[in-house]
Structure 1
């Protein structure tokens, strides 16, 4: 019997998940408090499928069938008896907890509920719920209808059955799971957010323009798009919210003041196409690498996610040429060590242990 899927929240992420699941033969009931959102999703799905037909990714018949699988609903009661519900509403703990409480009275006895949160603790969202054992995180990356990686986040009360059923769903939709502990930022955002946050701090410090930082990141770190280009793509409000969710981890993880101001005004960065590598490129490179290295090393110390899986995830989700651990190993030991020491001193942040640094540099688990 085919899996029954419901999605609450039809915006960028929820809509993308629906588009992808329907393409893989899964019927999707979608609900949003804004009735126009389901109409917008229908038009968006039609456009995506038409593009895929044009480039040969699917047939016209498959596109029509996929579109027919996406069914809007008018109440939460209509989504509750699914095998899997994916919540993809605004990144706010109070809102997400409120939705979970509202869903409680409508859930089937075996329904699994997943949150698409990018940085909130899944355990905090599921706190005090009678069905906490059936709640986990399924964090998709944008665009959700295309990006293959999904972080599978197991909270303290999440059952083995819930994880297994979620993994079955990801297999059916041909997604690559990255198992993670329920830690701030999970695996990918734990190092990606400090990386773009440090890029903003470089501009604040007057070391380079956003365009110049992007050039250094592309040419030295091998990323497909520089941090400011990515900030503009994901939206400064989303980026600042994700960064603020890490603030409890200390000053190194605090959102830069410029990022917060820009996010409040929703003002994207201006990026020139003809920027060249600045004189401060070595310092920029070291600070960006250190901003990736420190949280990546902490992930290992905390046992949040595997090293190889995280590197693979960075390549798949962020279009990095190399994940953070492979990047660390590509530099001389003395240079990486000095960069890590400097950034930890700058923000009065506890440095990763020498053993952890040594294990990565020597490529030993």
Structure 2
């Protein structure tokens, strides 16, 4: 390594993107530093979607590195490369989806589905190819949150494969597409688990970087089926600051650890209510609980979302916050949370793809 190359590497080791938490070199994003005739070629590939951050990152790299080149030109290749990451028990990643991320909660009513859809839309806005699977077999809500017309049904191919329904730029699948709103799903656990497996494996997901799975609340059959049959790269647990919600969230974290699925972090929902008239802040459900849980279980808080009438209205209206008002403070919080989630995943060990099935014909 030349003197200039060493100086460039040392300088890049001082750049720490907020969502990454570690420097570019330690994160493995610097893949090439090469001194060439009259220039230095530098290749930096962040492993998570961050389209909104790339211009600022490019400027920072150029400002730090250019003075070190002794008059040589900087040829900077800065682009995102999303790879599959290790799933539980080293299961190979799905051919159609590099990384499956489960969004879970220990109990209902904490805003898990609203969080899941906004995280999916945020990853898409940052440049990733994203799918959203509504795995709440008994209470699917994503079709309404995505604003899809009543009676929306997925196309089928070859009689046994579903074409994902496109909504706001992401690929989606839900039990809500297969039953009417008035039809309750009255199934025992094994049949519900079979439905999850069918939707996951028989949907023609197309070249996804991330498949976000909106799980039902709790730690039951659906979660166990996911852990046994689907390669999951990481999980996010959604909670509120309320003590009872935190107790259930802890069970969710422990469940994922028992089945060898890494917990990427906690999302604290309804953390604070800000009065729309006077701006007074009030912690309706308590304060600091997620931070304490994060410290106790060595799990970072990825984001903290307010108790907001607008978030609820936008989700109920079929245009979630990130799509409805991308420049709002709430949307920026979801964007920050999604980047932290994906960045943390990018720091985990890389996984492997499953080999495609080869059929020999004579």
* TM-score normalised according to structure 2 size: 0.27
Greater strand content: 2
Higher helix share: 1
Structure scoring higher RCO (CA < 8 A, sep ≥ 6) equals 2
TM-score for both structures, normalised by structure 1: 0.27
